[in-house]
Each structure stands twice: as structure tokens, then as C-alpha cells.
Amino acid sequence: MFSWRALPAATLSLLLVLDLVETASAVTIFASRTTKSLAPLVVPPSQLWDGNDGPWSSFFLRVGTPPQTMRTFVSTANNQPLVVLNQGCLSCDPSGCENSRGGTFYTNTSSTWIQSNITLNGIFAVAIETNLGITAEAQYGSDVVALGSIGSGLPTISDQLLGGTASKDFFLGTFGVNAAPSSISNLNDPIPSYLSTLKAQSIIPSLSYGYTAGNQYRFNKVFGSLTLGGYDASLFEPNDLTFKFNDNGNLDLTVHVDSISISSNHVNTTISSVPFPAFVDSTVPYLYLPIGFCKKFEEAFGITYDTTSGLYLVNSTLHTKLLEQSANVTFTLTNSTGTTLVEIVLPYQAFDLKAKWPLVKNSTRYFPLKRAANNSQTTLGRAFLQEAYLIADYERSNFSLYQRKWVANAQPDIQTIYAINETAKPPNQAKTTSQVSIPVAIAGTLGAALFLTVVIGCILVIWKRNQRLNNHPLTISYPIPKPPSELLAFLNDRNESYNHSPTSSLNDRYDSTSSHYTSELEAEGAQEKSQELDTTPIKSPIRNSILNAKVVTKPQQVFELPAGEVNGDGLFGFVAWRPGRRG
């Protein structure tokens, strides 16, 4: 028969079950957040064409509060955003200067702009491309930075290191995807790159990206493609060639050019058969090649070097002739081992670009070839990446180049590059940071909920039954002979009863203050009644349990450190120094 003494135990069981359900639910939520693999971040192009040396497919960048939207180019050399300041357009410049530069940033209208106080006015030397003779200064500070246009839903990062320049050498701003942190010589703590910040905030799965520049001569214009933390497998022809970053921590994308050749309807020419190293750098549009190679390009295409602009200008007559030749320029690439060769073929249209102010006074066609003074300048710039797809994986210190694949209306095939500690996990497998998997946690939660329902139901049924028993005492009668003394002693032990007030407090229930009630045993036609049994209260202690959960919630010379997710608290400067190349 039910005793109110059982209610404290049932109550405690109920509380424990509720705690189990809450814990299981928390584990499920935690698991769903930490085990779900992060997807790559596909950055949409602006769908506009910009630049005074292109045109080129650009990408939106929002800076400040309220956000100011600018169009930028992807820079494989830079590691932080660099935008054009409003001082970059003067009253003497042509009208529409700000728009032609992709929009300019007004620091004084951003409520979240914090200028660096390391140097006077936060001015630092922009040291990327110094090996190419490009010198510029930038004002550095921190502000809110977001990719994409307003309403795109792309992530926003607060207190992001940001540079602003007025120099026309960087005619548009750049969105840096290099993973190297920024540092300054007299300070110890480096500042993470923009790519590292995205990973640290669980926005992208790894320090990696896939990029191709796009062009206007394929399929009536094809925009650039940028995927952070992965790549688009639909955009390239696979190969087995992999390049390693330098052992000294230099994160320049260095390849070995085994040869360069030209084939056309009229001529087949070998530009170079002697291997040489070259940087892949989307910051600049040009191909910087040794002067001897440039001479062979001049002979093959009939182009002429203009000393005033420093460009190979192309007039309309020559342009028509070159289009008729339908020439292809083939770059054969290899790595330091030289065991694998990959060809990247560029049609002449990839070199058919337009130069505008301030490069030239009047808009004119040009061939994006520059004369390199030495091997520190040999560079394959943005023009090369019109027909090449670049995948850089800073987790594993390597990168790859592929021939761009051209398939009309191809569906994107976005693939994840996992962090280095996930190499053993197959694609699409959840990242597990807990011993409890999502299915197990869900099953545990459902089981606990079902058990809770059964327990509550049983308690209610027993409670109602007891209420009926209290209102209508039950008398059990059966004919038995006079029981022997042993049976009476047994019944005495078995019929000890206790009563507990249902209106007592929870603590009182846990104290289990007991009383008793008596059952009658009647023998119909029996010679005598059994004697009323004495009762002795027995206290059954119940220990309260508490589950404790701990919730763990001047320009100065600036240097580049090896890639890594190293955090810094202050605002220091800008990545610039590259051993043997930068600075």
C-alpha cells in the first residue's frame, strides 16, 4: 500500500530527472554548436569592374559605423584591409575620382574609428610591393570591418586593424588574404591577420582560400571568385603539383617557372627555357619578367615600351593584328623538386587591358608586362590569375595553382579545407570536441523525457489511489486459522506503516517526519482478531544533492611574422617585411 513516506524519494527522483533533462539538453545544444563543421565563406563579387589598369572584378568591403562601402581587390600579399582615404582625391583630380577609386573612407564620420597612437597620426610605411619600387604611407587604426554589401549578411568584425592610404600607387583598396600576423619591431605582441581573426571567431574552418580574378573576355564577362576556408572545385582542372612556403616563414607564394612559350597562327616562340623563381601576387596586375624575356615578348607581339608611362602601350592597329593572331602564352610551372610540371595557358585577350588616369593622360590599351630589375621583382600578377585558380592552405604551409576551367553555367562545388587538426576526418564529418555525440545526446534527452513522463504519471496515479484509500479505509477479510506466533511476528514486521503530510514543505519531506496508521485484519467467522500491531517510526534520511556547473563562458618599420594564430592586445602596425623580398 502507498505511503506518503515514498513521496520525498519520488520528488528527489523527479528533480534528478529534470536536472538530467536539462543537462542532456545543454549537451545537445553545446554539441550542435561545436560539432557542426564550419562551412567555407563564399565572398560574392561586387559585380562591378574597377581599376585604372584593368578592368578587374572587385569585392565590397564595409568599414566604420555607420558602414561606408568601398570596392576593393583581393591581395595575396597583404594581410589586413587597406582602403583609400578621402584625402586620396584632391580638388585638382578629375571629377569622379572617388568613384573611380572604388569609394573612399572618411575616418572622421565613423564613430568606431580608433587611430593608432604608436606613431604620429598613426602613419606607417606600407611595405608590401616595396621590392617592386612602390612606396606609400598609410594611416592605421581599428574599426568595424565587414565583407560584402549592406544587407549581404556576411560577418562583421569589430576592432579590426585597418589601413587607409591616399597614395595612387594603390589606386583601389585591397582585401588582404595573407595569413601572416602584423607586428612592429619594438613591440612583442603581433596582431592577427584578417584571415586569422575570421578563423578565431569560428567564421571560417581554416586559414585557407581559393581565388581566381575573373575576366571580361569569357562568356561575356566572368566575375572573380573568392572562397575563404575552402575552394570552388568547379572552377579548375585538377593536377598534382603542390608548392611549399619557404622554410624561413616567408609566406610569399613562390613558384618556379620552368618555361614560357608563345604559340599562334603565325609564330611559335620560346620566351624562356631557363627556370626562374617568381612570386604570385594579385595585388598588382602586371607580369614582372627579366628584361631579356620582355625583349622576346616585344619581338613576338610587336609591342613597344613607353618610357614615360613605363607601360607597353598598344594602339588600335596593333590590337587588331594581335587579336587575329589568336596567340596563347603558356607558363610551365614546377616546384623546387621539379618532378611535376603544370601548364597555365593564357590567351592574348588576358593581356588586352586598358590603362587610365593617372597611369596615362588618356585611356589606352596596354600589355601588362613590366621589366624586372632582378629576381626579387619577378612576379605573376592579377593578369595571370585570370586563367589560373589559386588555392592557398596556410594550415599545411602549401599552395597550388590550376588551369582555370571554363564551363558555361557550371554549378559551384564548394569544398572545405579543414584545419590541420582535422586532417584525419573525412569531408562532411562533424568536428567533435566532446565525448557526447549529437545523436547520443538527443537519444539521452528523449529517454529522460520519456522516463520523466512515466514517473510523473505513476506518482499521480498512486497519489489519487491513496486519496481514495484515505476517504474509504480498506478492510481486507479472509478466513484463516489462528496464526502461529511466528506468523504474527512476521506480520508485525511487515505492517509497520508511516504517514507523511502532503502539505509539508520540500525540506520537511526530505526530513521524513513520520506517523502511522493501522490496517485491520478481520477473519470472517474466526475465533479471535489479531492483535493491533505496535508501530515504531523509522526515519529514512535523504541527502540533498546539488549539481555544480562551472560555465566557462613615426613611420616605423613593420615586420611580418610567420603564419599562425597569435593574438595581440594592442594596435601595432602593418605586415610588410618579407625576407629576401619585402622591405
Q: What is the mean pLDDT of the segment spanning 432-436?
A: 37
Quote the pLDDT of residue 532: 40
Question: Is residue 254 one of the residues assigned to a domain?
Answer: yes
Quote the pLDDT of residue 187: 61
Q: Read off the pTM.
A: 0.70
Quote the pLDDT of residue 248: 64
Quote the pLDDT of residue 204: 98
120 pLDDT tier (thresholds 50, 70, 90):
confident
Question: Is residue 214 one of the residues assigned to a domain?
Answer: yes
Regarding predicted confidence, which is higher, 54 or 467? 54
Instruction: Please give the full DSSP string across 42-90, using - where no structure is assigned.
Output: EE---S-EE-SSS-EE-EEEEETTTTEEEEEEEESS--S-EEEBGGGS-
Asked if residue 334 has pLDDT above 90, the reply is yes
Are 179 and 85 part of one and the same domain? yes
63 pLDDT tier (thresholds 50, 70, 90):
very high
Quote the pLDDT of residue 190: 86
Residue 105's CB is within 10 A of a number of other CB atoms, namely 27
Task: Domain count for the chain, please give it.
Answer: 2
Burial of residue 79 (number of CB atoms within 10 Å: 0-12, 13-18, 19+): buried
Quote the pLDDT of residue 234: 98
Are 345 and 390 part of one and the same domain? yes
Q: What is the mean pLDDT of the segment spanning 72-85?
A: 97
516 pLDDT tier (thresholds 50, 70, 90):
very low
Are 427 and 452 part of one and the same domain? no
Quote the pLDDT of residue 541: 35
Mean predicted lDDT score pLDDT of the chain: 78
Q: Give the span between the Cα atoms of 21 and 33, in whole angstroms.
A: 18
Quote the pLDDT of residue 463: 60
Q: What is the mean pLDDT of the segment spanning 46-58?
A: 97
Question: Is residue 489 one of the residues assigned to a domain?
Answer: yes
CATH code, domain carrying 57: 2.40.70.10
Quote the pLDDT of residue 127: 79
Q: Which three cell numbers stand for residue 481?
A: 486459522
* Extended strands (E) in 335-397: 342-347, 353-355, 364-367, 369-372, 379-380, 388-393
Asked if residue 310 has pLDDT above 90, the reply is yes
Are 451 and 394 part of one and the same domain? no
Are 189 and 227 part of one and the same domain? yes
Question: Is residue 541 one of the residues assigned to a domain?
Answer: no
Quote the pLDDT of residue 305: 96
Asked if residue 122 has pLDDT above 70, the reply is yes
Which of 63-67, 117-121, 320-324 shows the lowest mean pLDDT across its residues? Answer: 117-121
Q: What is the mean pLDDT of the segment spanning 336-364?
A: 96
Are 382 and 325 part of one and the same domain? yes
Q: List helix spans (H) across 336-479.
A: 438-471
Question: Is residue 144 one of the residues assigned to a domain?
Answer: yes
pLDDT tens per residue, range 248-276:
666 789 999 999 999 998 778 999 999 99
pLDDT tens per residue, range 151-208:
898 999 999 999 999 999 999 999 999 999 987 655 667 899 999 999 999 999 999 9
Quote the pLDDT of residue 471: 54
Q: Are 216 and 49 in contact (CB under 8 A)?
A: yes
| Cα 193 from chain centroid (whole Å) | 13
Are 350 and 388 part of one and the same domain? yes
Are 27 and 52 part of one and the same domain? no
pLDDT tens per residue, range 373-422:
998 999 999 999 999 999 999 999 999 999 999 999 999 999 999 999 87
Are 194 and 314 part of one and the same domain? yes
Question: Is residue 419 one of the residues assigned to a domain?
Answer: yes
Q: What is the mean pLDDT of the segment spanning 308-317?
A: 96
Asked if residue 535 has pLDDT above 50, the reply is no
Which of 128-137, 321-330, 565-574 shows the lowest mean pLDDT across its residues? Answer: 565-574
Quote the pLDDT of residue 206: 97
Question: Is residue 299 one of the residues assigned to a domain?
Answer: yes
For 115, the domain range is: 41-433+556-560
Greatest mean pLDDT range, 28-42, 59-73, 503-517: 59-73
Quote the pLDDT of residue 26: 41
Q: Which helix H or strand E contains 318, and what residues bound it?
A: helix 316-325
Are 418 and 461 part of one and the same domain? no
Residue 93's CB is within 10 A of a number of other CB atoms, namely 15
Q: Give the span between the Cα atoms of 331 and 342, in whole angstroms.
A: 8
Percent pLDDT > 90 in the chain is 58
Asked if residue 543 has pLDDT above 60, the reply is no
Asked if residue 573 has pLDDT above 60, the reply is no
Quote the pLDDT of residue 443: 53
Are 188 and 152 part of one and the same domain? yes
Quote the pLDDT of residue 15: 43
Question: Is residue 460 one of the residues assigned to a domain?
Answer: yes
Q: Are 256 and 351 in contact (CB under 8 A)?
A: no
Regarding predicted confidence, which is higher, 164 or 336? 164
Q: What is the mean pLDDT of the segment spanning 434-459?
A: 55
Are 89 and 106 part of one and the same domain? yes
- Which of 167, 197, 196 has the alpha carbon at shortest distance from 179? 196
Quote the pLDDT of residue 447: 62
